[in-house]
Amino acid sequence: MGVDNLPGSAVKLIDRPGPTWWLVVTLALPVLAQQFLILSVGLSDRFLAGHLQPLPRQQQAEALGHRLTALGLGAAGLTSGSAASILGAEASWEAARQIESQHIAYQSAQTMAIYLGWMISSFTVLVSVGSTALVARFIGAGDHDAAVAVTNQSIVLAVALGLLGTVVGLCSLDRFIALMQLRGPAAQFAALYMRPLLWLLVFQVVESAGLACLVGAGDTRMNFYVLGGVAVLNFPLAWGLFLGWGPLPELRFVGIALGTAISHTLGGLAVFLVLRRGRAGLRLDWARFAPRWDLLWRILRISIPAGIDSLTLMGGHLWFYSIVNRLGDAASSAHGIALTWAALSFLSGAAFGTAATALVGQNLGAGRGARAAHCGWVAFAIGSSIMAFMGAVFFIFAPEMFLLFCPHAEQRAIVEAGVPVLRLEAFAEPGLASLIIFLSALRGAGDTRVPMLINCFGVLGVRVPLAYVFTMSHLDLGPLGMWPACNLGLFGAWMAMFADLYVRGGFFLLRFASGRWQRVRV
């Protein structure tokens, strides 16, 4: 089958009629819908953490029995009315203590799950950024056969990286969790959550690589179909494996992770089958899976700086997260819930960043630099407006948003720590919008080296140092002695993050405005 006869055709976005803003919105809306479906999964998981018993029923009974035995309240004492009364009071107290302890540990571990999702996304950048940029350039230049070749090599690279990530991740899992300063039940829950995702990582990398190629070809609807389907499947799988519905085992926290892993496995298989059949002018062909080192190098030449950028950025985020974990499980839980809600704005910006990626890449491929710049500015204008609206929602409804996940009195410390930081996030939206959307536009142009340096400076040079200054009571500077610090707790950590977002957002705005990205060769 020839390239021109494939099912569907490559979407040459730059030739579509209509105003630029409508083209940007048309591309962003499917991604936005898909992102909110994925976010709903995170919200559902948080609801499980805050409202339902974290331990399986049999383990709850065993834990309570061990506690009562330790107190000397044996079965023989049940014949006495006073002993029975003491036993009932102790049982009620112990049950409440178990629930409180497990809820907070569970929610703290779930914050680790958020960072794990970011780590996987950062890892997939090693193949997705170069794939999108090259496919978009070839489509813009009218070279459809080269776009198909890149797609096949992208899947080959995804399989290799996915298998490598599984091996490295499983071998270093326990050391990694310890490095993040997680202790006790929270560390145990985090390890249980991460293992299923690591075992099936290759399918998620293939999913990301295939969808990245389709975005470069102008097809963002398949993102919605596949990732939206992943989110929809995740609901019954996560709840069913958490609670033990029907024939499903009652796995509790690990059940949520297994549901996520199975959903992404099906998503990766769906992307592979769709591309095998052909879509948007792209098609997988067994004969094209033989490694082509020239194309693999071109993909990696773009993706490696972006991958180093993302992985270094992730390293900085994890360092920052370890600082937050030093503040205790309640602070870590509040941090995770605030991040879950903040994703409402982050994912909105990511949707318009995806539109900017495709439009900038295709316009540059066609030699239309001014048009590429115009598309980037329009995507920023619309995306930042939506994110500013989200910020207003955070500021006004922050208490209610936290109480939704923390309805019990013993969770009050989480609410008190979290509401101020979510309100602070409201004022960070302009900087965050500039960071997300202009970074995506620069990556669509293949400009990944300078952004890598900017990201490293922002996270490692601004966020992490300020986090120490704002969260600790004293700083040990070695030969310079002990210096007083601000001791602002979780709010101080988010102040450091606030400063970082504006530093990097400002740099990316200036980089895009300079127009130097138009001269980058891919």
Q: What pLDDT, in 10s, does the model give residues 235-287?
A: 888 888 888 888 888 887 788 789 889 999 999 999 999 999 999 889 999 99
Distance CA 330, CA 489 (A): 11
The more confidently predicted of residues 148 and 90 is 148
The more confidently predicted of residues 304 and 353 is 353
| pLDDT reported for residue 81 | 47
Contact predicate 267/226, CB 8 Å: yes
pLDDT for 115 beyond 50: yes
**What is the tens place of the pLDDT at every residue in 33-91?**
877 777 777 777 767 655 555 555 455 455 445 444 544 544 444 444 444 444 444 44
Q: Is 475 helix (H, G, I), strand (E, B) or coil?
A: strand
Contact predicate 379/356, CB 8 Å: yes
DSSP of 305-344, one letter per residue? HHHHHHHHHHHHHHHHHHHHHTT-HHHHHHHHHHHHHHHH
| pLDDT reported for residue 27 | 85
Q: Is 187 helix (H, G, I), strand (E, B) or coil?
A: helix
In percent, the amount of the chain with pLDDT more than 70 equals 84
Distance CA 505, CA 345 (A): 15
Closest by Cα among 158, 234, 165, 230 to 199? 165
Which of these ranges, 88-92, 306-310, 335-339, 445-449, has the smallest mean pLDDT? Answer: 88-92
| pLDDT reported for residue 21 | 87
Q: Is 245 helix (H, G, I), strand (E, B) or coil?
A: coil
Cα dist. 498→60, 335, 346 in Å? 41, 14, 14
User: What mean pLDDT value characterizes the chain?
Assistant: 82
Cα dist. 313→131, 164, 292 in Å? 21, 20, 30
The more confidently predicted of residues 218 and 478 is 218
Please give the biggest Cα pair distance in the chain. 90
Which of these ranges, 26-30, 103-107, 301-305, 401-405, has the smallest mean pLDDT? Answer: 103-107
DSSP of 65-129, one letter per residue? HHHHHHTT--GGGGGSHHHHHHHHHHHHHHHHHHHHHHHHHHHHHHHHHHHHHHHHHHHHHHHHH
Helix-then-strand count for the chain, H and E? 16, 2
Distance CA 383, CA 379 (A): 6
* Cβ partners under 8 Å of residue 177, min gap 6: 112, 187, 190, 191, 194
Tokens 């909105």 correspond to 348
